[in-house]
Every structure is written in C-alpha cells, then in structure tokens.
Amino acid sequence: MKHERKFSLKKALVCLLLLALVPISALADFAATVKSSTMRVYSTNNTGWVYYLGSLKKGTRVTVTAVKGNWCKITYKGRKGFAQVKDLQKVSTYTKWNGFTKRQAKVYTTASTGSKVVDVLTADYPLTIIGVKGSFYEITNTNGKGHGYVLKDCISKTKVNRFKIADSVKGTYNSKGSSTTVPAAVKSTQSYLARSMSKTKYADYIIYAAQSRLGCAYSKSPNNTTTFSNPSFVRSCFASLGYSVPANTQTIGHKGSYAYISRKSLKRGDIVCFENDSEDSKVVDHVGIYLGKNYFIHVSPSAKMVVVSSMASGYYNKAFC
C-alpha cells in the first residue's frame, strides 16, 4: 500500500473498531481490483479522517469479504479495512472464450433488452465472451476494447460463414479483361460489420458479399442464392446489408434517388452502369459493383457467371456510361 499515513492506528482504537467488523453480507469472498486512480481505505464504513488508514493504487488486487450498501470490507496482505464499492471492480472467475454472432445481434449497455443499444453487429462478428448474466453474455471485442451484453442465442462458438457458397456450384473463368480471381489490390476481407464502423467498411462488406458469388452461374431465372441475373446480383449484394436496389437494370440506371458521379470520382462499392446494346443508345442495360483501380464485379452473360472485369480498356471501357 501507498501510505498517506500509516495503515494502522493505536491498539486501543483498533480494539474498539473491531466491534464494528462483524459480517455485513453472506456473500462468499471474491477478488477485486482498484479501478479508481487512488482508493482510500478506512478502519470502518465511515469517511472521517480519524478512521482513515491509507490508500491503494489503481489495479491493486484485494479480497472483498463482505458488502453492504456503498461499502465493502476488504483484506490486503493480511490487513483489514473498509473501502467504497464504487472504487472497486470484481475480478471475474468466468473462463473467457471466443465466439461469433450467429445473426444480427444488438449490443446492450446492461443485461436487459430495455437498456440502451450501443451497437448492432452482423453475423460472423468475432467476440470475446467474458461473463454471463441470465440470458445474456457479457462481451468485448477480441482486442479487449468495447463492452456490452448480447443475448446468448445470438452467439456461437463456431463461425456461421454467412457468405459461404459451395465450390461445387461455381465455375472458373479467365480471359482477356475478365476473371473469377479478384486482384489482391481490390480484394475485401470485411466478412462482418458493426453499425458503429466507418462507411468505407460498409462498402467493403458489400464487396465481400459480391466476392463470395464469384463463379456462380448466370441465369435468366435466378434463384439469387447460387444463380443470378445481372441486376439480381447487384440487388442481392446490397440486400446483405439491408439496402434496397431496384430489380432491373434500366430502373437502377435511370430512376430513383441516386447521386450521379463522374468516372474519376468512383469509389469502392459504387454501382457502375453500362450501355451494351447499340440499338438502345444511352439506355443502361448492364450494371456492376465498382471495386477500385478500374475493376468491377458483375454477372457476365458471355462468361455465363459472376466475374471481375477491367474498365481500363477494351469493351467495358467503351460501354461505360
């Protein structure tokens, strides 16, 4: 202990105070750490200076032997005293483990659905579970930052892999300007998302959803799970985050409340539009999702599957509108 004054008083005074040190709670002893910058320790549950014994630094570990109201009875290196509850944090005996959200999950400030929602997580969000309280897990990010409570039935020890599509239903394609391989410079690794994350990561999440569909077949009657039409592909990728995109290319390209931007202003996640049919001049008939560095991902009717193509030169450079 750091002493502002000695941690013991005259024997006569201590003898008198021992009468007050009766059990004040039936709780079993538990470990706690000092969370305040400095915690004052008293010989009884009174802040009078005559009862002041000394202080303990933040992070010091003590044993709490009883609790009553705002006070707790503690021991430290064989010495006894009283401290205020607000200055201590209980050391959890819960064995921490890592898990993932199974679906969208709300993060609450306390173990109650009536408390404030501080974040919303998508499926596959990695978490560290540090405690349990009723029907809730107490959670933090895997880096130890952040804190909250999530309903137990939203968390699993194994990853759902929300965007996993069996390789057996995918094809491969590689030709000049198009491929089922994503260039490393524009590949996304954002397989999960929190509402509190940046808008850049929102775009990366949509791109991750799009990447998972690479090689999936083109279909005029898509099931939008393993087969897609050109507009349904874009629509399904944005729907993975709850965004609504029109069901056909012309509506995507010509109607709705959109911000039309120049080619040089394109950013990851933007919808890019093309005019492939010379007979329908200036009518959008093909769409995709921009990946950056002149690459975009789309359903190619000629490749008959989802591919990544370049807009830097060639056909899609000329067709871009």
Least confident of 14-18, 254-258, 277-281: 14-18
Beta strands in 112-170 (DSSP E): 117-121, 126-133, 136-141, 148-151, 155-156
DSSP 47-68: --GGGEEEEEETT-EEEEEEEE
Give the model's pLDDT for residue 188.
Answer: 98
- The answer, yes or no, to whether residue 3 has pLDDT greater than 50, is no
CB 67 within 8 A of CB 25: yes
What pLDDT, on the 0 to 100 scale, is given for residue 26?
37
d(CA 164, CA 203): 19
Residue 252: its pLDDT value, please? 86
Name the H helices within 101-248: 199-211, 230-239
pLDDT of residue 120 exceeding 60, the answer is yes
Q: pLDDT tens across 64-118, in order?
A: 999 999 999 999 999 999 999 999 988 878 899 999 999 999 999 999 999 999 9
Report pLDDT for 28. Answer: 65
- Pairing, β 136-141 against β 97-101: unpaired
Its pTM surpasses 0.85: no
Mean pLDDT of 267-287: 83
Reference 294, options 175, 185, 176; nearest CA is 185
pLDDT at 7 over 50: no
State pLDDT tens for residues 12-52. Answer: 333 323 323 333 333 468 889 999 999 999 999 999 999 99
pLDDT in tens, 180-239: 999 999 999 999 999 999 999 999 999 999 999 999 999 999 999 999 999 999 999 999
CA angle 143, 33, 130 (to 5 degrees): 35
Report how far residue 299's alpha carbon sits from residue 287's, in angstroms, rounded to the nearest whole number: 8
**Strand 174-175 with 178-179, pairing:** antiparallel
pLDDT band per the 50, 70, 90 thresholds, residue 280: low
Each residue's pLDDT tens digit, 126-178 = 999 999 999 999 999 999 888 899 999 999 999 999 999 999 999 999 998 99
Q: Give φ, ψ of 180 to 5 degrees.
A: -95, 15
Does position 278 have pLDDT exceeding 80, yes or no? Answer: no
More confident residue, 12 or 243: 243
Q: How many CB atoms lie within 10 A of CB 178?
A: 20
